[in-house]
Amino acid sequence: MDAKMILRMNAADHEISYANNSSFQKQVILKIRPIIEESITDAFKKIAPVCMKVADLGCSSGPNVFLAIWHILDTVHGICQQEQLKLPEFEVLLNDLPENDFNFVFKSIPGFYERLKKERGDMLQERCFIGGVAGSFYHRLFPTKSLHFVHSSYGIHWLSKVPVGLEDNKGNVYMARSSPPSVFKAYADQFQKDFTNFLSLRSEEIMPQGCMVLTCVGRKNPNPSKEIMVGICYPNPFLTWLWRLYIYLFISLYFLTTLSIIEAIKTMKTCFLWTIYMG
């Protein structure tokens, strides 16, 4: 069966739910808040839309869903107050795979509106419209040139399928010390294909001057078997010391509209090297 029809995080009412086990991912979103603010400020000032269209890809089901969205709304709200500009309306589209616990997401929306109203006032709350989009971000999800801002945290390292060529990965379910080089290459090749596809699709959907902030797991060491990967599937606050997190991807580029995909990939390689260097 197609992976996108099976994959999902445990639902919010599951004994071991993503909602109760995503504090590490929360820290990631908090850490990149300044990057989100900088990008959204830049995009908002350049485009000044009447309705700002924002998408969160791989939103999952849990408290993190609304964290980045809050940062985005709050930033634009702050700019408008400071510079006495008219507050735009916001269309916020939350995406995940079809099996995601969207019931939890939708049931949480009234609470989010309530908090917006209480902490930022009626004006912002009344201008915010949240909806869900079920589907894989490895396919088209939104109409052509319809989005101003795309955010995705901790999702794009999920591949679209099991890489081809893992037959020699005996006794392992992922890259391990004993995995032969062909296995590392198979994962890298699949990531390259998927990510190129992802960028190409988003380049259709994001409007000129729009931007995108992506965060995902990276590694400092070029040899994946030397790094501990335990936390990636089962994040646990007590294991965070094992983690080597590198927010290695920050894109607030206009490449989607102004550069070719090849140039974009070159730019990202530079970002990767920069964060590895900084790491």
Angle subtended at Cα 134 by Cα 128 and Cα 138, rounded to the nearest 5 degrees: 115
What is the number of other CB atoms lying within 10 angstroms of the CB of residue 186? 21
Among 40, 96, 109, 212, binds ligand SAM (CB under 6 A): 96
With binding defined as CB under 6 A, does residue 97 bind ligand SAM?
A: yes
Q: CB of 209 within 8 A of CB of 43?
A: yes
Q: Does 243 bind ligand SAM (CB under 6 A)?
A: no
Name 102's Cβ contacts closer than 8 Å, sequence gap at least 6. Answer: 61, 96, 132, 134
Q: Does 155 bind ligand SAM (CB under 6 A)?
A: yes
Q: Is 149 in the site for ligand SAM (CB under 6 A)?
A: no
Task: Specify the residue, 49 or 108, whose C-beta has the smaller distance to ligand SAM.
Answer: 108
End-to-end Cα separation, the chain, in angstroms: 39
CB 157, min distance to ligand SAM, A? 9
Q: Which two structure tokens, joined as six digits, stand for 198?
A: 């992802």
Give Cα 126 to chain centroid, integer Å.
26
Residue 64 is a binding residue for ligand SAM (CB under 6 A): yes
Is residue 187 at the binding interface for ligand SAM, with CB under 6 A as the rule?
A: no
**Residue 162, class by beta-carbon neighbours within 10 Å (0-12 exposed, 13-18 middle, 19+ buried)?**
exposed
State which of residues 158, 174, 191, 246 lies at the interface with ligand SAM (CB under 6 A).
158
Order of strands across the sheet that contains 147-153: 128-134, 89-96, 51-57, 147-153, 206-215
Rounded to a whole number of angstroms, the minimum distance from the CB of residue 205 to ligand SAM is 14
The answer to whether residue 22 forms part of the interface with ligand SAM (CB under 6 A) is yes
Q: Does 214 bind ligand SAM (CB under 6 A)?
A: no
Q: Which residues pair with 133 in a beta bridge?
A: 95
Site string for ligand SAM, 129-148 (x = CB under 6 A): -------xxx----------
The answer to whether 243 and 27 are in contact (CB under 8 A) is: no
CB of 81 to ligand SAM, least distance (A): 28
Told to check if 7 binds ligand SAM by CB under 6 A, we report yes
Binding test (CB under 6 A) with ligand SAM, winner from 39, 75, 108, 153: 153
Task: Note the residues at the interface with ligand SAM (CB under 6 A).
Answer: 4, 7-9, 22, 25, 29, 57-60, 64, 95-97, 100, 136-138, 153-155, 158
